Amino acid sequence: MSSRLDDELSRLVSAGVLRQYQADSIRDAADAEIGAALADPGRPRPSKDPAEPAEPETAKRKTPPIAVHTNALVEVLGYVGGALLLGAVALLTLANWGEMGRAARISTGTTAAVVLLGAAVVLAVLGRRAQLSAALASLGCCVAGFATFVAVEGEAGRVAGVLVALALAAGGLWWLKESSLLVATFGILAVGVLVITSDVLTPDAGSAANSAGIAGTGFIIVAFAFAMLGLVRDQVTSWSLAGAAMFSSSICWLVQERGEIMALAVGTAGPAALLVAYGRTRRSAYAVVGCAILLVIWPTALYQLTDNLGGVAIGLVVASGVLLLAVVMLSRRRSNE
């Protein structure tokens, strides 16, 4: 691949015109085209139409670096502004929560949510700064959920806050299609699983250890939802978040009484799916998330099962053998293809 294409893709990613995964796809397609041309020298190569007038020299010049730097500066300022607003609301709320009346609490959260969501909508309508718009929308969804919780109060307020935040995040994800809203949606769903488990599904006399299995099941449902979401949105982010949901489920099953076997099963199924996806797509995020889950869940669950470090070592040796065997089999399969 030519260095010129690489430079142009890097510039477009820095300017926010392309996402990194889009640039990688273009780069992979260019590499495949070059590889096919080298493998078949007689293959006709696309050439410029002789009748097409040559581009003027000025059109071939690259965009001045100052434009890229300006775009990046505006992007950074937007992120900093949103973060400062959220931090100011958090500090004001924490420092004066006991002294603030209910109306003041509601107005503080509502104002912050309206400012963040309003800025996101304006940027989206103008068709500029899609990433910044999505980031502000993500913050605004969370703040709106908090404002709803403050307005309603109690168990109903927690459930209503999650529902409002989730509805706003889902609407933003459908409209803007950005990865930051996927992360926000995952965070809201994670809070929702814990809220529904503790406030709705767990009886008043129930223990945290017994309700952990319910939360673990909820996180499995979240993982399935993100696996399906990856078919229509950013696949790398969605499937990585699905792996994070499986990790959360495994942690919950470790807390559940006699849930070690289920923790091992969930903590193996998620990484296995991610490693298969890595073998097919070569996206390093899948391998990183999958291996991280295995390295945390397997030793912890085996130690709880055996109460012996020797058992943990044996289990890890077996797990490593299975992984290495899978690597060898996948390598042989790819070489045969």
Confidence (pTM)? 0.68
Element (H or E) spanning 71, and its range?
A: helix 65-96
- The angle that helices 235-255 and 179-196 make with each other, rounded to 10 degrees, is 20
Query: What type of residue sits at position 37?
Result: A
Q: What is the pLDDT of residues 207-226, one digit of tens each?
A: 556 688 889 999 999 999 99
pLDDT for 127 beyond 70: yes
Six token digits for residue 156: 């109903």
pLDDT for 2 beyond 60: no
The pLDDT assigned to 93 comes to 66
Q: What is the pLDDT of residues 170-221, one digit of tens each?
A: 999 898 888 888 989 999 999 999 999 888 887 666 555 668 888 999 999 9
Give the number of other Cβ atoms within 10 Å of residue 138's Cβ.
29
The pLDDT assigned to 244 comes to 92
Give the number of other Cβ atoms within 10 Å of residue 236's Cβ.
19
Q: What is the pLDDT of residues 58-101, one digit of tens each?
A: 444 444 444 444 455 555 666 566 667 667 666 766 666 667 77
Higher pLDDT, 17 or 187: 187
What average pLDDT score do residues 129-145 get?
A: 85
> What is the average pLDDT score of the chain?
78
What average pLDDT score do residues 244-249 get?
A: 93
Domain borders along the chain are: 1-42, 71-178, 202-337
**Angle in degrees, CA 289, 295, 299, rounded to 5:** 150
Which residues, in sequence order, are CB contacts of 294 under 8 Å at separation 6+? 267, 268, 271, 319, 323
Share of the chain above pLDDT 70, in %: 73
What one-character-per-residue DSSP string does 187-209 give?
A: HHHHHHHHHHIIIIIS-TT--HH
The pLDDT assigned to 65 comes to 46
